[in-house]
Structure 1
Amino acid sequence: MSSQPESFVGVILAGQRPGRVDALAEAAGVVNKNLVPIQGAPLVRHVVDALAATPGLSRLRIVVEPGTAPLIDAVLPHSRLQIDYVPAANNLADSVYAAVEGVGDLPILVTTGDNVLLTPGAVLDVLAVLQGGADVSLAMASQASVMAAHPEGQRRFYRFSDDAYSNCNLYAFAGPAATSAAESFRSGGQFAKKPMRMIMALGPINLALMLMGRLSLRGALKRLGRRFRLKVEPVVLADGAHAIDVDNARTFAVAEELLARRAMADAA
């Protein structure tokens, strides 16, 4: 599915919630989880390397607390990359909105600093959907593919009428539609933590159908896109490892194991 993209801007969300002490960061003796080392490099370095290896990346924006930006900058490559640091907002939605301001017509690829199993192929697949006319694309992986990658990798799945899926924390926005999409997400707030905002943003009927498993993944996103006047398309990645990010000690161990396997396969 992947194809050679036009230039795009990469955005990595690496901020921490104010006042929160991350257990992994505390155990590793660092101030931000994205600096925790795994397989010889900080979490965020693995993500940056995947984006840097993707054809078409023109610049990179990293959303993080201003005090942490120099620490992240010190562990990143600076050969050809233009890296901008954007101050993290108080919530994820506002951070995304701040990161996409002023990018012009370029497509935007958004992921998280703990998405260490990200690959250039997955990035290209998500961007390719934009070339097909979508305003927003997001990566998902089926439950079967995630379990095949590692049985302990993910425990949260969203059940639709066609299958159960997990989110891969990988999104793309097409040019000018990016800002309006981010604004929609911004007004919707952090859905998982503020259910009433989710109901207001999605509409009670759409939300009920999704919760009852009456809609397919594509059908649910079509309704969501209609609500925001955007064409939203899913990309179901074949490798379920893309749905495994580093949230806690369990997923850290899983990601470390899978990264080691990849390194061995590359060396063979």
Structure 2
Amino acid sequence: MDHDTKVTALIMAGKRSGVLDPLAEQAGVSQKAVVPVNGVPMVERVARQVADCPNVGAIRIVAHEPDEIAALPGIAALISAGRLSFAEGKFNLVDSVFSGADEAQFPLLITTADNCLVTGEGYAEFIDKCLAAGAGAAAGLALKENVQLADPVGQKRFYKFRDGEFSNCNMYWIGDEKALNAAEIMREGGQFVKFPSRIIKAFGFLNLIRFRLGTASKEKLFAQVSRRFGFKLVAVELSDGHYAIDVDNQRTLDVTTRILQRREGEAVAG
């Protein structure tokens, strides 16, 4: 695999069955993915940045309600250009990933529709580092100090390793079909800090102990997990702490809006 490889990007834009997200309800839309942030719907922002990444070829949005998303101007333009298509969202994140990966060209970049602060350059950095590491699967992480430099309250959950504390950037890599099994790591949202039993299921009991005690570096822990899975699983440290801040609730919506207003200026109504 070389650095001219074109990656298929999966943008996860599903919704919880039967539940209207509070941010969507507040914005008067039917799903969180189309909630505007500084005037632009979240999924449209992400699709634009993914499309601007030179490493990305095809783009698939995995969604339960694609029509509302397809009507967005930026999305419609990518559909017309033959760059973007939809895959069916399923009842959980892992099965949705499998749906998006069906007949897709590997490798896969997986991101989420609420990753509003990741730029095309950020996706390119992640892809380049995955390729350079020869990763079968990978997860993007940002150092706590960099995340707090981006915004002191933008992210509150960090994973502790011997070499520092890191936050998940909702960027994942699946190098080939064999490594697609790594999607199990993301089942039920991948909230391992809050639900340690999920680490046991995915990583094994000894790795849970090492993880909870913070006694292993991220590289060593991922190498141990790689042996469990049978392919190379890599922790990719990204340079910009903004990439770990996504839109989960009103607090992070306010943080993300504030950061985007610094970048772009305030949205003009109408």
66, 70, 73: which is aligned to 2:67? 70
Aligned twin of 2:201: 200
CA distance 1:189–1:15, shift in 2 (3 Å): closer
**Structure 1 residues 242, 176: CA separation in 2 closer, same or farther (over 3 Å shift)?**
same
Could you tell me which residue of structure 2 aligns to residue 221 of structure 1? 222
Gaps of 5+ in 1: none
Following TM superposition, by how much is the alpha carbon of 1:179 offset from its aligned partner in structure 2, in angstroms? 2.8
Cα separation, 2, equivalents of 1:88 and 1:4: 30
Q: 1:30 matched to which residue of 2? A: 29
Deviation string, structure 1 residues 40-89 (Cα, Å, up to 9, x no partner): 21011110010010003221111111xx2011011113353432211111
1:141-160 matched pairs, under 5 angstroms: 141-160=142-161
The CA deviation at 1:195 is 4.6
Native 8 Å contact 1:150 1:254 kept in 2: yes
- Asked whether the 8 Å contact 1:5–1:127 carries over to 2, the reply is no
Structure 1 letter corresponding to 2:66? A
Q: CA shift at 1:127, angstroms?
A: 1.3
Who is 1:96 aligned against? Answer: 97
CA contact (8 A) 1:25 1:33 kept: yes
Deviation at 1:19, TM superposition (A): 2.0
**What is the identity, as a one-letter code, of the residue corresponding to 1:110?**
I
Q: Which residue of 1 aligns with 2:13?
A: 14
Question: Which range moves more in the overlay, 139-148 or 169-178?
Answer: 169-178
Amino acid corresponding to residue 218 of structure 1 in structure 2: E
Mapped to 1, the partners of 2:130 and 2:177 lie a distance apart of 12
Structure 2: which 5+ residue stretches go unaligned? 266-270
Task: Give the Cα–Cα distance (whole angstroms) in 1 for the partners of residues 40 and 82 of structure 2.
Answer: 18
Hey, what does 2:41 align to over in structure 1?
A: 42
- Aligned partners of 1:15, 1:87: CA distance in 2, in Å? 9
Q: Percent identity?
A: 35
Asked if the contact 1:9/1:58 (under 8 Å) is kept, the reply is yes
Q: Which residue of 2 aligns with 1:231?
A: 232
Correspondence 1:235-250 to 2 at 5 A: 235-250=236-251
Q: Match of 1:170, SS? A: strand
How much has 1:118 moved relative to structure 2?
1.1
Normalising by the residue count of structure 2, what TM-score does the alignment of the two structures yield?
0.88
More moved, 171-180 vs 208-217? 171-180
Give the Å deviation of 1:4: 5.3
Counting only pairs closer than 5 Å after superposition, residues 116-131 of structure 1 correspond to structure 2 as 116-131=116-131
Please say which of residues 199-208 and 142-151 is displaced more in the overlay: 199-208
- Secondary structure of residue in 2 paired with 1:181: helix
Moved over 4 A (4+): 188-191
Given the two structures, how large is their TM-score scaled by the length of structure 1? 0.89
Instruction: Summarize the Cα distance change of 1:247–1:148 in structure 2 as closer, same or farther, 3 Å threshold.
Output: same
Residue identity opposite 1:40 in structure 2: G
Work out the number of aligned pairs and report it: 257
Q: CA shift at 1:226, angstroms?
A: 1.4
Distance in 1 between the 2:205 and 2:89 partners?
31
